[in-house]
Copies of this chain bind each other. A is one copy, B any other.
Amino acid sequence: MESDYGVTRELSDLQKKRALYQPELPPCLEGTTVRVEFGDGTTAADPAGAHVISQAFPRTYGQPLAHFLRATSKVPDAHIITEHPPIRVGIVFSGRQSPGGHNVIWGLHNAIKVHNPNSTLLGFVGGTEGLFAQKTLEITDGVLSSYKNQGGYDLLGRTKDQIRTTEQVNEAVAACQALKLDGLVIIGGVTSNTDAAQLAETFAESKCSTKVVGVPVTLNGDLKNQFVEANVGFDTICKVNSQLISNVCTDALSAEKYYYFIRLMGRKASHVALECTLQSHPNLVILGEEVTSSKLTLFDITKQLCDAVQARADQGKYHGVVLIPEGLVESIPELYALLQEIHGLHGRGISPNSISDHLSPWASALFDFLPPFIRKQLLLHPESDDSAQLSQIETEKLLAHLVEAEMNKRMEEGTYKGKKFNAICHFFGYQARGTLPSKFDCDYAWVLGHICYHILAAGLNGYMATVTNLKSPVNKWKCGAAPISAMMTVKRWSRGPGASPIGKPAVHPSTIDLKGKAYELLRSNASSFLMDDLYRNPGPLQFDGPGANAKTFTLSVEDQDYMGRIKLLQVYLDKVKNIVKPGCSQEVLKAALSAMASVTDVLSVISSSSLNSAGPL
């Protein structure tokens, strides 16, 4: 029902108050002059993939970073854009709804109109399907009024999450040309931004004048890299989930008879689960990245859980809360292998009912071992990105089932003498996605929307809007843009220098950095979380008072600002140049050469050895 999109609706008192909230603009985006400073040309993080990426994106790879500066800043070679002819921009939601998405549209609309009231913003109705079908809704202040700072994607809706096949790409090109768009802004996560980069390359190749801009909006929080510190929606989702997890923790402690197994939406990576653990202190979390890194099997995980249950029972505790990221199922090696076989058989057109007959003996044995409900879920068709339908696979129930069986066995054998193990399972995902966005996500999305305009005004194509220094207040935020292709990696069959790349370059989901500070914080508290019930309740999301301005632990503890450090490096290099100008003394030149030779040697070694650890950044 496209006709329902963008309609004005009745808002609750709180929604009305939120609709009146006005996010702040960082100083660098104030005024009507766009000042952009270009950095050096970019490369990909993984040198081995760089060549493949540059071949796939000959026109958009290697473009420089862009920094948007305040009007008064004294940067000699900044481009200053004071002319703002009217432009036509299209915007589309691609991929799963994430709280704050509406504010990207609002921010872009605001920026467009501030710079030229005759510019036009068209929203594609019904996601990428609307793009292909050229169904648009003109974004106006009236249309936006009841969607500002509100959750969901219901201003425009969304459907399929793809602009990938030749037909889809051609339809997108046709739409942009027919609608005479100067820019197309794609709001989404890793997959949608990969599509955006591809579309940008296609546009450049086909001399289509539309520029493509991506915006990092995904509740999964897995679009993180050198340039992107956080994603719109992650803050809110973690707060709402932590509220519910904390409530369950309090519940567990009040009744003391259940173990709650809670699976969290968040796709392959475990960012949501990690952040929620740091916020609400449940007893245990099983991170997919830990399982992958330690190659834990289903049996190992079950044993780990049972040992935890038993250790707690020894202290008279028969309750607890365990978090499970939805992506865990793909991190467990034997389940992943089974899923791969099943997906292969899907691909060969085998009907789901007879897939089990075609499995290898090994996979078949595992399949038969699993309880019927999980078998059915594993047989579901894979998603558009070839991953399993993670939201539909009840890993929490599988683990609860296996733990119960094992605890019963231990009880029979007399090795466990406590009370019977009782589990209650939950999946938290859909109940959080549509929520009112937190102040942080409102601000962040609104600023990103503004940056999209600046990117287009600077004539850039294939870029993603970025904000760094996010853990500081808005007036310290640094705004910029980075080529999406610089965020790409290429999968390899095996690790090491000799491995050959497979598949197309893509923005892959980043995984939790097991050497990072957030994970370190978890590990240093893990044993007291497990045994001491240090449950913490951040409470329901507030918009005023304590907690309203709290940022995620993940963001707060990490030392990010990669783009700031890239700029700092430039400053150092410039200083060397200035000191060692032609005419300087022999000693100075000699010292500089010796020092720089040693620096370049060290960097070359580090850089090539980084091949061996294509992990998270």
Question: Which residues does A use to contact B, with CB under 8 Å?
Answer: 1, 4, 9-18, 96-97, 126, 150-154, 157-159, 240, 243-244, 246-257, 260, 315-317, 373, 424, 426, 428, 430-436, 533-547, 550
Contacts and interface: CB of A to CB of B under 8 A. Distances in A.
Contact of A256 (B1, B434, B435, B535): B1
A538 B12 contact: yes
Given A1-B317, A12-B547, A433 B247 contact: yes
A539 B246 CA distance: 18
A528 to B, nearest CB: 11
Contact of A430 (B251, B435, B534): B251
Contacts of A431: 244, 247-248, 426, 428
A532 to B, nearest CB: 9
Contacts of A4: 253, 533
Contacts of A249: 434
Nearest to A96: B255
Contacts of A547: 12-14
Copy number in the complex reads 2
A513 to B, nearest CB: 26
Given A254-B158, A537-B436, A540-B436, A260 B430 contact: yes
Contacts of A260: 430
A373 B377 CA distance: 15
A434 B246 contact: yes
29 contacts: A1-B256, A1-B317, A4-B253, A13-B546, A14-B542, A15-B537, A17-B545, A97-B250, A97-B251, A97-B255, A150-B537, A151-B247, A152-B251, A152-B253, A152-B254, A153-B255, A157-B255, A243-B435, A244-B431, A247-B430, A247-B434, A247-B435, A248-B431, A250-B434, A251-B430, A426-B430, A436-B537, A540-B541, A542-B544
Contacts of A153: 254-255
B250 A540 contact: no
A534 B14 contact: no
Given A17-B545, A248-B431, A248-B434, 10 more contacts: A12-B539, A13-B546, A14-B547, A16-B546, A240-B247, A240-B540, A243-B435, A244-B244, A247-B432, A426-B430
Contact of A542 (B248, B542, B550): B542
Q: Which 10 A-B pairs have the closest CB atoms?
A: A250-B434, A152-B250, A13-B546, A540-B540, A153-B254, A247-B434, A14-B539, A251-B434, A244-B431, A540-B541
B538 A540 contact: no
A251 B13 contact: no
A564 to B, nearest CB: 29
A428 to B, nearest CB: 7
Q: Which of A243, A254, A534, A545 has the most CB of B within 10 A?
A: A254
A568 to B, nearest CB: 34
Contacts of A534: 9-10
B543 A545 contact: yes
A256 B315 CA distance: 49
Nearest to A318: B1
Q: Which of A4, A535, A539 has the most CB of B within 10 A?
A: A539
Q: Which of A157, A255, A533 has the most CB of B within 10 A?
A: A255
A601 B556 CA distance: 76
By secondary structure, the A interface counts as loop
Contacts of A243: 435, 540
A240 B247 CA distance: 10
Contacts of A14: 537-539, 542, 545-547
A199 to B, nearest CB: 22
Given A12-B536, A12-B537, A433 B251 contact: yes
Contacts of A546: 13-14, 16-17
B541 A544 contact: no
B256 A157 contact: yes
A430 B261 CA distance: 12
Nearest to A16: B546
Q: Which of A10, A247, A545, A546 has the most CB of B within 10 A?
A: A247
B250 A151 contact: yes
A190 to B, nearest CB: 18
A432 B550 CA distance: 22
Contacts of A253: 4, 152, 154, 157
Contacts of A151: 247, 250, 537
A154 B373 CA distance: 35
A430 B424 contact: yes
A432 B251 CA distance: 9
Contacts of A373: 373
B250 A15 contact: no
A259 to B, nearest CB: 12
B544 A256 contact: no
Nearest to A154: B253
Nearest to A1: B316
A167 B257 CA distance: 23
Nearest to A239: B540
A546 B542 CA distance: 12
A541 B435 CA distance: 12
A133 to B, nearest CB: 14
A611 B159 CA distance: 57
Nearest to A544: B544
Nearest to A431: B244
A432 to B, nearest CB: 6
Nearest to A433: B251
A426 to B, nearest CB: 7
Contacts of A545: 14, 17, 543-544
